[in-house]
């Protein structure tokens, strides 16, 4: 067994060391001296022994001094090492091979909640861990005592019950001979880091959930300064687009580059580098090629931004456009095949577009006329039509095109040699797979020889090639011949009809005097025509228009009768439908305004005569427009039909419901006993329409209804006044919060008069410059500084004082004054902004609200350009706020207007986001810069978890789309702290300031710039 002498030496005193050294030195020295004396003199002289004794004392002193110095330094190093370990903020511990704790520093004792080392010395370390990690630590201990090192993350329960997450690194501790004596472990507390990882994963999961609803791949692509690249974020769609997982490319994008088509690779790389260099949007169409040979076309669209570390980060979408490319190629190939076939066809072929523009003639046509394509296209070809046929030919084309009916006609067309030839032209309307009308295609054949044939052939072709049913009888009315149209209309075959008389078709609806008059006319005039009812073979009775002509010989004697007739069932049905449409709504089949007025007029006369009363209920659907915009007009039509059925089911048979148009309905309640009867019906309708509707696009569509009620004779005694008063009451119901009903009354009349008076005063206020612009600051959440302001209009009335916009803006929108007010606010805001810049104030973004009425009824692009030019205010500091509903109206026109505004440099924001039905698919097409979260989602934070989730989702979605996100209505520090956690960019609200006049806002701005900014804290 080997012994380490150092611990023994450390425990000896200095005098003990000296005595030990003296004894040892004397013995050794005297032995040496004795040996030398014997060797030199043969004896041991006394003086030799004395000299050895002195020398041994000197050597002993020297040894003691050296050992003392060595032990002092060794003790000092051990104390320093112990102090370092005790000061270490991480846990340092020694563990025996059986898992027993041998030593632990103060940081470790704090982590396991031990008061002293004695409390845990000798305990098993695995017992401090949760059960699922105990075996892992035992395995790690075995590996360490086998000479390896290792790491382990585990959850620990302290002696006082606190759970913590730990990360430990363990190595073997060896003695001077290399033997492993213990496990040395350094452990750090990663509880907060673990919580951050969990929160980050939840945020990524939420982002993935949002991205999964977006068509195609949503991604972030990062190019680092060293040229490497990665996808920090990619939605699950990347598995289909590139056949990789988000994890495969999170740190390295090489697997995406590997599947790029070799022919497109250089172009893609060049386009990415150009986008990074100029920070311009990246839009590129390219191919990918997979190992199995599959080639797909992709289209990418993204926006870049420069990061602090010098890298470039793109946010965007990638969609698979393979099917679109294939369809385009197939269409081009199909068109080429068609032209080849048409040019080789033995007939003349033409094609016309829906606007009656003839844009194609085949080779046969051009060879027939001897003219070029340029001469024939448009209406050039019609110049070759015979003058006698020109008008008839032209009329046939026009009427057939307008009706979109298949047609056939004959006309003469001049050939290349100047001869007019008879053509039979047959045109057929063209439709695509979506049933969209594309125009006509026609073919012509030369029928000149047929036209010049014998009379019998002409008669036969005239009689039996027509579209009408025909029958020829002898003078005794025995049927000799019938055509196929006769067979088709009557159901009788040729064999069944020939040899019979027309009585075969008799329906019994015409009496004997009818037939007597018909034959009398035939005898007198030689022909008869009229409407008659006949019976088909299957027994069905149908109406037909019948022409009978008597054929006479040279002596004037009747030899035959020629009858032609056509089934006019469709015409009779059309007449009925026309009659129905004149008094009914085509969509809901409800009575329309015309029928309502007639019924109302009659009802008033009856009630006046009998001394009774009636009620008129005017209904307007709430949120119908949002449903129409979100799901399309087809869904809106289906919804209106369901609404009509629900209202009808609520009424008596004597009542009437009519649709006036749009989402407005009228209910007429006749013979009511009390005004409350109308209220009960209104409540029932409101309840019925408040229930969810099931549409093909969504099975949970919620709308509401507001109802205005006028009564006869209490409110009016004529139809027009009753309608007007019901409409007035409807607006009163809407003002009360929608989803309710209101009666027309004298009090309401007074309110209407006050409303009109307010309109007059508002017009006067505009002229007398009583309007004011107040400014509410918009704060940058990260820096705490004012970076902008929203301009809000106020009315400084000389009598009432400051009038809030909620009182006069609705009137301004109804009377179109909003256009004039909006222009004034825009001009005043830009003028004030220019003045602040001239005063040396920092540049601010000034946001101006644009009403949907102003957006629709004025040339907003020209107005903005003029105001910016007149005031000198920079376009880049102007922000126009458009409401979500305003954006969704006429989306194509809106997109064009927004693009023009954006081209001027003006920033665009969507106001009150989340209150409408706008979808992500539409929103991404608008050139927006800022997304403003509506105040209703902020008010209940942090108490309402649903609002917190919605707000967080809107922030994430806005950032994905490249928008800055601003929260409105922030009033508490808790709300601001939450927004800061969600990385929201901006906020405004009473927490910072109410809207202020211009001078007060300047004072606030200057105070804000001079005050130190503190991070937002919350006790949540």
State pLDDT tens for residues 251-276.
999 999 999 999 999 999 999 999 99
CATH class, 584-744 region: alpha beta
Residue 198 confidence (pLDDT): 74
Q: What is the distance between the alpha carbons of residues 409 and 1013, in angstroms, rounded to a whole number?
A: 86
Rounded (10°) angle between helices 891-903 and 860-871: 20
Residue 719 confidence (pLDDT): 92
Exposed / middle / buried, residue 195 (Cβ in 10 Å: 0-12, 13-18, 19+): exposed
Q: What is the separation of C-alpha 742 from the centre of its chain, rounded to a whole number of angstroms?
A: 37
CATH superfamily of 466-573: PAS domain (3.30.450.20)
pTM: 0.37
pLDDT in tens, 537-573: 999 998 999 999 998 888 888 999 998 888 888 887 7
Ramachandran quadrant class, 802 (left: phi over 0; alpha: psi -120 to 50; beta: rest) = beta
Whether omega for the bond prior to residue 942 falls within 30 degrees of 0, making it cis, is yes
Dig out the tokens for 621 from the structure: 């659907």
Would you give the DSSP letter of residue 773? Answer: E
Q: Of 2-16, 234-248, 557-571, 871-885, which gets the smallest average pLDDT? A: 2-16
Residues in the chain: 1020
Residue 346 confidence (pLDDT): 81
Q: What is the separation of C-alpha 985 from the centre of its chain, rounded to a whole number of angstroms?
A: 21
Question: Is pLDDT at 1020 greater than 50 in this prediction?
Answer: no
**pLDDT class of 145 with cuts at 50, 70, 90:** very high
**pLDDT class of 63 with cuts at 50, 70, 90:** low
Break the chain into its structural domains and give their ranges. Answer: 5-79, 90-197, 214-320, 335-447, 466-573, 584-744
Q: What is the dihedral of CA 269, 275, 281, 287, to 10 degrees?
A: -10
Question: Is pLDDT at 229 greater than 80 in this prediction?
Answer: yes
- pLDDT above 90 covers what percent of the chain? 40
**pLDDT class of 7 with cuts at 50, 70, 90:** very low
Q: What is the distance between the alpha carbons of residues 214 and 209, in angstroms, rounded to a whole number?
A: 9
Bigger pLDDT: 53 or 87?
87
Helix (H, G, I), strand (E, B) or coil at 189: strand
Ramachandran quadrant class, 1003 (left: phi over 0; alpha: psi -120 to 50; beta: rest) = alpha
Q: What mean pLDDT comes out for the span 793-808?
A: 89
Three-state SS annotation for 621-687: EECHHHHHHHHCHHHHHHHHHHHHHHHHHHCCCCCEEEEEECCEEEEEEEEECCHHHHHHHHHHHHH
Bigger pLDDT: 630 or 454?
630
Question: Is pLDDT at 15 greater than 60 in this prediction?
Answer: no
Q: What is the distance between the alpha carbons of residues 941 and 984, in angstroms, rounded to a whole number?
A: 14
Mean pLDDT estimate for the chain:
84
The topology (CATH level 3) of 90-197 is Beta-Lactamase (3.30.450)
Q: 509 and 516 in contact (C-beta within 8 Å)?
A: no
Q: What is the distance between the alpha carbons of residues 988 and 788, in angstroms, rounded to a whole number?
A: 9
Q: What is the distance between the alpha carbons of residues 539 and 491, in angstroms, rounded to a whole number?
A: 10
Q: One fold for both 90-197 and 214-320?
A: yes
Q: Of 119-128, 612-621, 672-681, which gets the smallest average pLDDT? A: 672-681
Residue 178 confidence (pLDDT): 85
Q: Provide the terminal-to-terminal Cα distance of the chain, rounded to the nearest Å.
A: 64
Q: What is the distance between the alpha carbons of residues 204 and 210, in angstroms, rounded to a whole number?
A: 10
The topology (CATH level 3) of 214-320 is Beta-Lactamase (3.30.450)
Maximal C-alpha separation, the chain: 194
Q: Of 173-177, 488-492, 651-655, 661-665, which gets the smallest average pLDDT? A: 173-177
Which uninterrupted H or E stretch holds 257? helix 254-258
Q: 204 and 211 in contact (C-beta within 8 Å)?
A: no
CATH class, 335-447 region: alpha beta
Residue 642 confidence (pLDDT): 94
**pLDDT class of 919 with cuts at 50, 70, 90:** low
Q: 616 and 666 in contact (C-beta within 8 Å)?
A: yes
Q: What mean pLDDT comes out for the span 385-413?
A: 90
CA 116-122-127 angle, to 5 degrees, is: 95
Would you give the DSSP letter of residue 273? Answer: H
Question: 820, 824, 829: which is closest to 998 by C-alpha?
Answer: 829
Question: Is pLDDT at 652 greater than 70 in this prediction?
Answer: yes
pLDDT in tens, 735-784: 877 788 888 875 654 555 577 678 888 889 889 999 999 999 999 999 99
**pLDDT class of 1018 with cuts at 50, 70, 90:** very low
**pLDDT class of 18 with cuts at 50, 70, 90:** low
Helix (H, G, I), strand (E, B) or coil at 216: coil
**pLDDT class of 6 with cuts at 50, 70, 90:** very low
**pLDDT class of 906 with cuts at 50, 70, 90:** very high
Residue 286 confidence (pLDDT): 93
**pLDDT class of 980 with cuts at 50, 70, 90:** very high
Q: What mean pLDDT comes out for the span 20-47?
A: 65
Q: 916 and 888 in contact (C-beta within 8 Å)?
A: yes
Q: What mean pLDDT comes out for the span 101-113?
A: 88
pLDDT in tens, 474-484: 989 999 988 88
Residue 411 confidence (pLDDT): 92
Side-chain-facing half-sphere of 547: CA atoms under 13 Å: 9
Q: What is the distance between the alpha carbons of residues 98 and 78, in angstroms, rounded to a whole number?
A: 27
Supply φ then ψ for residue 121, to 5 degrees.
-60, 130
Question: Is pLDDT at 466 greater than 80 in this prediction?
Answer: no
Side-chain-facing half-sphere of 874: CA atoms under 13 Å: 9
Q: How far is CA 502 from CA 188, 464, 472, 713, in A?
A: 108, 18, 10, 62
């Amino acid at each position: 067994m080997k012994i380490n002498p150092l611990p023994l030496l450390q425990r000896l005193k200095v005098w003990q060391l000296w005595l030990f050294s003296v004894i040892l030195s004397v013995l050794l020295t005297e032995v040496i001296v004795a040996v030398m004396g014997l060797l030199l003199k043969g004896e041991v002289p006394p003086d030799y022994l004395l000299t050895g004794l002195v020398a041994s004392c000197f050597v002993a002193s020297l040894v003691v001094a050296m050992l003392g110095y060595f032990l002092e330094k060794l003790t000092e190093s051990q104390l320093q090492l112990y102090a370092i370990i005790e000061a270490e903020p991480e846990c340092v511990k020694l563990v025996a091979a059986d898992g027993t704790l041998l030593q632990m520093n103060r940081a470790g004792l704090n982590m396991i909640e031990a008061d002293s080392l004695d409390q845990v010395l000798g305990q098993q370390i695995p017992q401090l861990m949760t059960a699922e990690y105990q075996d892992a630590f035992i395995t790690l201990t075995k590996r360490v005592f086998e000479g390896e090192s290792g790491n382990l993350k585990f959850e620990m329960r302290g002696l006082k019950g606190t759970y913590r997450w730990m990360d430990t690194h363990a190595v073997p501790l060896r003695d001077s001979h290399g033997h492993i004596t213990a496990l040395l472990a350094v452990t750090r507390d990663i509880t907060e880091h673990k919580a951050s990882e969990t929160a980050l994963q939840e945020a990524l999961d939420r982002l993935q959930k949002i991205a999964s609803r977006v068509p195609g791949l949503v991604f972030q692509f990062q190019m680092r300064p060293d040229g490497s690249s990665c996808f920090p974020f990619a939605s699950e769609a990347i598995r289909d687009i590139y056949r990789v997982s988000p994890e495969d490319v999170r740190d390295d994008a090489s697997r995406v580059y590997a599947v790029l088509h070799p022919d497109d690779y250089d172009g893609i790389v060049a386009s990415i580098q150009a986008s990074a260099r100029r920070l311009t949007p990246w839009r590129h169409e390219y191919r990918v090629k997979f190992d199995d040979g599959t080639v797909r076309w992709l289209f990418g669209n993204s926006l870049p931004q420069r990061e602090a570390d010098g890298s470039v980060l793109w946010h965007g979408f990638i969609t698979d456009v393979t099917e679109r490319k294939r369809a385009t190629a197939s269409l081009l190939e199909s068109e080429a095949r068609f032209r080849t076939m048409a040019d080789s066809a033995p007939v003349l072929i033409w094609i016309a577009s829906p606007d009656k523009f003839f844009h194609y003639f085949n080779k046969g046509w051009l060879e027939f006329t001897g003219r070029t394509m340029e001469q024939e296209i448009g209406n050039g070809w019609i110049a070759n039509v015979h003058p006698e046929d020109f008008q008839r030919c032209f009329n046939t084309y026009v009427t057939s095109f307008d009706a979109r009916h298949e047609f056939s006609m004959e006309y003469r067309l001049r050939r290349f040699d100047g001869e007019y030839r008879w053509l039979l032209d047959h045109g057929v309307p063209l439709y695509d797979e979506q049933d969209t009308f594309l125009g006509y295609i026609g073919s012509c054949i030369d029928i000149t020889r047929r036209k010049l044939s014998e009379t019998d052939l002409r008669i036969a072709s005239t009689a039996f090639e027509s579209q009408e049913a025909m029958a020829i009888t002898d003078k005794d009315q025995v049927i000799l011949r019938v055509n196929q149209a006769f067979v088709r209309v009557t159901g009788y075959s040729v064999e069944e009809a020939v040899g019979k008389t027309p009585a075969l078709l008799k329906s019994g609806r015409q009496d004997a005097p009818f037939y007597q008059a018909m034959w009398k006319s035939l005898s007198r005039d030689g022909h008869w025509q009229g409407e008659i009812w006949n019976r088909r073979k299957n027994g069905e009775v149908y109406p037909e228009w019948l022409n009978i002509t008597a054929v006479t010989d040279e002596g004037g004697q009747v030899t035959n009768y020629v009858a032609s007739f056509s089934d006019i069932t469709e015409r009779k049905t059309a007449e009925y439908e026309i009659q129905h449409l004149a008094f009914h709504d085509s969509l809901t089949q409800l009575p329309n305004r015309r029928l309502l007025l007639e019924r109302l007029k009659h009802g008033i006369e009856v009630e006046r005569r009998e001394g009774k009363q009636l009620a008129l209920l005017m209904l307007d659907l709430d949120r119908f427009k949002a449903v129409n915009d979100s799901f399309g007009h087809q869904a809106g039509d289906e919804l209106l039909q369901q609404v009509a059925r629900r209202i009808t089911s609520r009424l008596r048979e004597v009542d009437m419901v009519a649709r006036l148009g749009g989402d407005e309905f009228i209910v007429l309640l006749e013979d009511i006993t009390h005004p409350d009867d109308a209220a009960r019906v209104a409540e029932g309708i409101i309840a019925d329409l408040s229930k969810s509707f099931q549409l093909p696009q969504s099975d949970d569509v919620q709308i509401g209804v507001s109802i205005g009620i006028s009564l006869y004779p209490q409110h009016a005694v004529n139809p027009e006044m009753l309608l007007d008063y019901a409409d007035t009451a409807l607006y009163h119901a809407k003002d009360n919060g929608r989803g309710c009903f209101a009666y027309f009354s004298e009090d309401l009349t007074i309110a209407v008069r006050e409303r009109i008076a307010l309109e007059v005063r508002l017009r006067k206020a505009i002229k007398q410059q009583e309007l004011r612009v107040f400014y509410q600051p918009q704060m940058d959440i990260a820096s705490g500084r004012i970076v902008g302001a929203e301009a809000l209009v106020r009315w400084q009335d000389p009598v009432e004082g400051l009038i809030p916009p909620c009182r006069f803006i609705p009137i301004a929108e109804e009377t179109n004054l909003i256009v004039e007010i909006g222009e004034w606010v825009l001009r005043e805001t830009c003028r004030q902004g220019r003045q602040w810049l001239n005063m040396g104030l920092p540049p601010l973004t000034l946001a101006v609200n644009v009403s949907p009425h102003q957006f629709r009824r004025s040339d907003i692009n020209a107005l903005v350009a003029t105001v910016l030019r007149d005031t000198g205010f920079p376009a880049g500091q102007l922000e126009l706020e458009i409401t979500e509903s305003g954006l969704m109206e006429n989306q194509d026109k809106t997109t064009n207007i927004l693009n023009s505004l954006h081209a001027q440099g003006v920033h665009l924001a969507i106001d009150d986001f989340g209150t409408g039905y706008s979808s992500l698919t539409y929103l991404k097409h608008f050139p927006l810069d800022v997304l403003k979260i509506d105040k209703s989602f902020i008010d209940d934070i942090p108490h309402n978890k649903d609002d917190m989730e919605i707000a967080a989702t809107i922030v994430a979605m806005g950032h994905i789309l490249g928008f800055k996100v601003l929260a409105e209505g922030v009033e508490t520090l808790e709300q601001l702290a939450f927004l800061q956690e969600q990385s929201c960019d901006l906020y405004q609200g009473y927490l910072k300031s109410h809207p202020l006049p211009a001078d007060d806002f300047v004072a606030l701005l200057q105070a804000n710039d001079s005050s130190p900014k503190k991070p937002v804290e919350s006790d949540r």
